[in-house]
Amino acid sequence: MLSSLLLTGLLTTGCHASVVALPLSAPRLQNLLQAFVAGGQGRSFRVLGEERDFDHGHVLLEARTKSPFAILYHTQELADETPDGYLDAEGRNWIQWLDGRGIENARRYERADYPRTADWDWFVAQELPRLRRRHTITDKMLDPLLLGSELAGSVQCTFTRVDCGAAAPERIGVVLPDRTIICLSLDAS
Amino acid sequence: MKIPRARLVAALFGILLAAGACLSPVKTSPQDDSAQAAAYRRRLAATVTDNWPPISALAARRLMEQYGPPDEVRPGYLVWNDNGPWRRTVVRDITPPYAQADDLGVVEQTIEYPLMPGQIVELAAFDQRLGYNAVGWRLSARSDSEEINFLRLNLANDILNKRMTAAQARELYEKTRQLAASGKTSPYMLSLRFVPW
């Protein structure tokens, strides 16, 4: 209850300072991130709000309606460069459905093959090996048939840890399983 | 006797030019560029790049998909002028020195950006893949993709505007590429974040 009150006090709405508008409101994003953190802290990531481990998700947009239907989170972003070499190759990419289906490993939605255009051929030849070396699945690597939706692209939302006492124009708060409250500033790109 | 690939491409180019009769491998002017001339350059470019090494050929195909037929077709390079945010884009036939070359620099993209001599030195300290031609104030970046050229030039602009040092820009370049491979997109790789001259 206390946490909820504190979070309500911390919350501001929208991502208006961003050049790109976020297709989800800040309260919605806060709730979604809170659900992800509750199950993922210590398992799929360790440090929330810092780019060395977990500071962003991609809001996936459906092609026909251009409306958001899921978030693709990338965790353990630079975890293989930490002194303890912490990296779970199978735990880096997560899909959180916005229709209440919960959170799943994105690996099960990965494409088996790719379209044949010059841009896709370039992606497969030049980008895919780099992404695979870091066990990354991007939105381009998700299979529309498995997702059940054609993608119109995605909007990246970055949540950066900030001091809860400091003024920040766009801010949400998330409670870690140990009851620590983390304040995060939002930015979309 | 083994004939060097470059000579073969040049010979093939000569045959195609002869077959093209009055059509030119170079766009003369935007006003006079007919659909027939553009289609000829596209066919010529496709034939020329078929004989290029895979990375050069793929980069060329990708640019043609994005920007249409090149304005100039030569055996060793293709050129687009005033395409997108660029004054000039050149893709070159470069043979990789080794199998897993990370960045051959096959795509050179140029903007107009007046620089003082001291600034040229600053940029050279950041990245040897940036080039400057004082005639016409042409600042160029070379890499294998437009995204990396955006990154190099955006960082160069930050250095020139005293937002970071060359060393900081090198560090941010490496970090941005690492994060991109980890799934995080940087706005620095999506477009120029400044308006060129």
Round to whole Å and give the CA distance between B17 and B65.
Answer: 23
Give B64's contacts in chain A (Cβ within 8 Å). 118
- Above 80 in pLDDT, residue B3? no
What ipTM is given for this predicted complex?
Answer: 0.86
Q: Which whole number is the average pLDDT over B107-118?
A: 95
Radius of gyration in angstroms for the set of CA atoms belonging to chain B, rounded to a whole number: 18
What percent of chain A stands above pLDDT 90? 71
**pLDDT tens digits, residue range B66-90?**
999 999 999 999 999 999 999 999 9
Best of A138, A142, A159 to substitute, by most chain B Cβ atoms within 10 angstroms, is A138
- Tell me the sheet residues that pair with A183: A162, A173
Amino acid, res. A5: L
| Cβ distance of B58 and A126 shorter than 8 Å | yes
Mean of all residue pLDDT scores within chain A: 87
| Cβ distance of B181 and A137 shorter than 8 Å | no
| Cβ distance of A118 and B61 shorter than 8 Å | yes
∠ CA B146-B147-B148, rounded to 5°? 90
Does residue B65 sit at the A interface (CB-CB below 8 Å)? yes
- How many Å from the N-terminal Cα to the C-terminal Cα in chain A? 33
How far away is chain B from the Cα of A141, in angstroms, using its nearest Cα? 11
Radius of gyration in angstroms for the set of CA atoms belonging to chain A, rounded to a whole number: 17
**pLDDT tens digits, residue range A86-144?**
888 899 999 999 998 999 999 999 999 999 999 999 999 999 999 999 999 999 999 99
| Cβ distance of A78 and B179 shorter than 8 Å | yes
How are strands ordered across the β-sheet holding B130-133? B72-73, B77-81, B88-92, B107-112, B138-143, B130-133
**Alpha helices of B20-100 — where are they, by DSSP H?**
35-50, 54-67
**pLDDT tens digits, residue range A60-90?**
999 999 999 999 999 999 987 777 778 888 9
What percent of chain B stands above pLDDT 70? 91
| Residue partners of B186: CB distance under 8 A and separation at least 6 | A189, B151, B176, B179, B180
| Cβ distance of B54 and A125 shorter than 8 Å | yes
Q: Which whole number is the average pLDDT over A143-148?
A: 96
pTM here is 0.87
| Out of A58, A77, A125, closest to residue B182 by CB | A77
- Above 70 in pLDDT, residue B21? no
What percent of chain A stands above pLDDT 70? 90
